[in-house]
Amino acid sequence: MAITVSRETDREGGQKQAGSTPRVRRLHARLQDAMLCRQEVWRPGSILDDPTLATLPLVLRRAHAFGRVLDTMPIEIAPDELIVGKSAVDGVVQRTSLPEFASSEEHARARAEGMGITSSLSHKTPDYPPLVRRGMRAIIAETEARCAALECEPPTQEREAQILFFRSVAIECKALVRLANRFADLADRQALDAPPPRAAELRHIAAVCRRVPEFPARGFHEAVQSVWFAHFSFFSTGTGLALGRFDQYCWPALRRDLTTERLSLDRAREILECVWLKFNDRAQLARENFADRYQDGPWVAGDRVRTITGFDRADAINHFGQNIVLSGLTPSGVDGTNDLTHLCLDCLEHFEFTSPVVTVRLHRGSPDRLVERCAEVLKTGGGMPYIFNDEAIVPAYRKLGVPSRDARDYANSNCWETMIAGKSDQELIRGVNFPLILEWVLNRGVTRCRDIQEGIDTGDPREFAHFDDLLEAWKRQLDAYVARNIDYVGEAYARGDLFHSGHGRYSYNPLLSALIRDCLVRGQDVIRGGARYVIWHLMGEGVANCVDALVAMKWLVFDQRAVAMDEVIVALERNWQGHEQLRQRMIARAPKFANDEREADSIAADLMQWFTARAQYHAQRYPSILFPCAVGTFSWYHSIGREVGASCDGRFNGDPVTPNFSPSVGMDLKGPTAAIRSYCKMPSTDLAGGGPMDLRFAGSHLRGEAGTHRLGGFLRAFVALGGNMTTVTITDAELLKRAMREPDKYRGLRVRMGGWSAYFVALSPEQQRLHIAKVEHGL
């Protein structure tokens, strides 16, 4: 059984079972055992083997492939379960995937265009409220009516494509209903041999499964089960999605149940705890069961390709994109905190898992009890909930032209970057690498580690007479890179060649399109522009590294004239070999970002204002696409750093960059208040995509009620100062060191990663050492 470490009373390790009822505690115990077992892979036979399907258009073959998984994958209802939806054989989890549905010729054409046919999407949030309110039958009826209307129109190429789209949507929606009925039949069969109490539960489960997701949910149990079936079908076919504002769209059903006394709050808690455990069905803790699956591989970074290391990939082994957003402003502008908000926070506190990833949206009018509850839960460790500030993010979306009601209804994707919930096709332009852009300035556009021209030539830096010359060259480099990438996406989108993380015109996702607003109205798949908002975040990286490097050069090269630019360039080319004294001067002498130092902070704000302004200037060429700016690395700071040579903040060639919008490791020397003051000087209302500052505090400084109040005060100050996003991890370096030495005793210890939380013992040694190196603060 896994050992959990989080609460103040449990920080040294020790077995703990969580759950409000004996049923939930039994489910929890079995889940912990299963997390140590190796999982199996299940994939059905090729669609192409069926002559009735092999000649269909690709979009319909994809839909039938989806249906084959849901119709034939092994399913299981475990003892004690109330919420069902799991693929397993004798308790062993089956990791399912789509069968082959594209021909070798189609794959070859896609590869030739740099695309894929997997249709495995992520970084999106389905529109679950209509599923709960209307049910799948209503969505199918709308789809078939639109298809029938088109069939009466004169034939055109666009009409034929829309008809195929609507047929594919109907196929996948009906498959989802059949899946629910499979579980209903299984529950009925199990009830025949079950003891009377369990038999009654199984018959009730069967009734729920025959009701949802086909029909509207009448109560909380049905609402949760309906959402889970859709979510389960997505990840069973390779599409990992967030769940959006769960406490907002499930609360009406729970409120009805509580008002009519159809359900008690305790029963609602048990139902919620059951689905909370199901989010972790596929979690794995034993590194030997998964580490061999991950190798270095390519990843698109804007119009460049970078290599993502195997251990950067493996750290996400238990990240399934299952993000839930709680509270925040409603579309009408009032606070959305409710009883379900607090029930979800209770689950987050009691079940020390990494899924679901929980975010709380705060604003100036957030209830004090909610803020204090966030502080209490943060003290259990694991870095959740993440904190988003409506006071920054809502205005940022308004600046992009998003109406107020939609701007207030934002959520996050699989990680932390934001979107308009249920209405967005969201993707990322990764690779706006601030320190690499500085490297291009110093190396005339050449990337040192690759020895290729990727930036523009901004002249010989040895001829820069003033710091403003250096800063202006950096701005020209960034402007050129941002313009190039916005044009790259915008022009591809106009041609219909837009790829989504390797997908493009050969990929489809009909069920997701049924659950993204406006896809049915437009008759277009979400991949083809059907969503109300097409969002491509421009992701800045390594901001603190770049700022610290620029400040160091300003001080030593331009202000004090203590070292010549030529010596700096030579030292960087030699990776500081023979120049350690200069490197130490660069580190020690100049102010650092995140210490409330005017000079460093003003340079940081200048870079960020230029980044956001130029992005929106170039975005005007493509008014149908939103290009919000963001700052983040996710957990890939190692891989991002590998493409950057030595830099004037003291980094060596290939060292990791700073995670997200955080201070450089070890450089936030004046504590969290100074760090947040620096961060809040940035243009946070221009970062609609987000930009989290990751902070870590020593648990010893936050014990008891007084510690909770201090942390709550910190969160209120963050909101009042206008911060964008923050994550808070509370742990101790010595605890992490013990976990490295004795991982079996600390299997449940969680730490914050780039866009999720991870089990510390499942991380690579490289990642573990970086976490230990981070500064601990006292509040």
Is the residue at 506 inside a domain? yes
10 Å Cβ neighbour count for 268? Answer: 22
Q: Distance between alpha carbon 19 and the CA centroid of its chain, in Å?
A: 27
Using CA atoms, how far residue 466 sits from 554, 574, 648, in Å, is 9, 25, 17
The rounded distance, in Å, linking the Cα atoms of 223 and 676 is 39
Within-domain flag for 139: no
pLDDT tens, residue by residue, 548-558: 999 999 999 99
In the three-class reduction of DSSP (H, G, I as helix; E, B as strand; rest coil), residue 136 is classed as helix
The token pair that represents 247 in the structure block: 């406490």
Q: What is the pLDDT of residue 14?
A: 39
Compute the distance between CA of residue 700 and CA of residue 11 in angstroms, rounded to an integer. Answer: 11
**What pLDDT sits at residue 36?**
86
Tokens of 273: 């705890």
Q: What is the pLDDT of residue 309?
A: 52
2: pLDDT strictly greater than 90 = no
Q: DSSP assignment of 746-776, as one string?
A: -TT-EEE-SSSEEEGGGS-HHHHHHHHHSPP
Q: How far is residue 62 from each of residues 112, 135, 381, 523, 527, measured CA to CA in Å?
A: 20, 23, 42, 17, 14
- Only one residue has tokens 């201090």, namely 710
For residue 726, give the H/E element and its range: strand 725-731
Q: Number of H helices and number of E strands within the chain? A: 30, 20
Domain count, the chain: 1
Q: How do strand 692-698 and strand 357-362 relate by DSSP bridges? A: unpaired
Model's pTM, two decimal places? 0.92
Domain range enclosing 456: 419-693+740-759
Question: Look-up: residue for tokens 């605890």?
Answer: 735
Query: Within a domain: residue 243?
Result: no
| Rounded Cα gap, residues 598 and 581, in angstroms | 26
pLDDT tens digit sequence for 222-277: 999 999 999 999 999 989 899 999 999 999 999 999 999 999 999 999 999 999 99
- Residue 751 included in any domain: yes
Task: List pLDDT tens digits, range 589-647.
Answer: 899 999 999 999 999 999 999 999 999 999 999 999 999 999 998 878 888 999 999 99
> What is the per-residue pLDDT for 672?
86
The rounded percent of the chain whose pLDDT value lies above 70 is 91
pLDDT digits (tens, 9 = 90+) for 362-396: 999 999 999 999 999 999 888 899 999 999 999 99
Region of 615 on the Ramachandran plot (φ > 0 left; ψ -120 to 50 alpha; else beta): alpha
Please check the confidence at residue 49 and state whether its pLDDT lies above 70: yes
Query: Does the residue 72 lie in any domain?
Result: no
242 — alpha (psi -120 to 50), left (phi > 0) or beta?
beta
> Strand, coil or helix: what is 219?
coil
Q: Are 15 and 3 contacting, i.e. CB atoms less than 8 angstroms apart?
A: yes
Measured between alpha carbons, how far is 251 from 270 in angstroms, rounded to an integer? 15
Question: pLDDT tens digits, residue range 69-100?
Answer: 999 999 999 999 999 999 988 888 888 999 99
Helix (H) or strand (E) holding 361: strand 357-362
Mean pLDDT, the chain, rounded, equals: 90
**In the numeric block, which tokens belong to residue 477?**
């480099």
Q: Model confidence over 138-197: pLDDT tens digits? A: 999 999 999 999 999 999 999 999 999 999 999 999 999 999 999 999 999 999 999 999
pLDDT, residue 290, reads 63
Residue 304 — pLDDT band, cuts 50, 70, 90?
A: low
Give the integer Cα–Cα distance in Å for 479 and 722: 27
> DSSP string covering 39-50, please?
PEEE-PPPGGGS
Inside any domain, residue 465 = yes
Neighbours of 676 (CB within 10 A): 21
Digit-coded pLDDT (tens) for 412-434 = 988 889 999 999 999 888 789 99
Among 221-235, 525-539, 756-770, the range with the most confident prediction by mean pLDDT is 221-235
Average the pLDDT over each of 46-50, 212-216, 491-495, 525-529 and give the range with the smallest value.
491-495
Q: What is the CATH number of the domain that holds 755?
A: 3.20.70.20
Residue 244 included in any domain: no
Which helix (H) or strand (E) segment is 387 a member of? strand 386-389
Distance of alpha carbon 565 from alpha carbon 94, whole angstroms:
59
Express each pLDDT in 269-301 by its tens digit: 999 999 999 999 888 777 666 655 545 555 455
Q: Give the residue among 383, 375, 360 at the shortest CA–CA distance from 752.
A: 383
Question: For residues 383 and 377, what is the distance between their CA atoms, to the nearest angstrom?
Answer: 9
Angle value at C-alpha 774, between 768 and 779, nearest 5 degrees: 130
* Any domain includes 442: yes
**What is the predicted pLDDT for the residue at 736?**
81
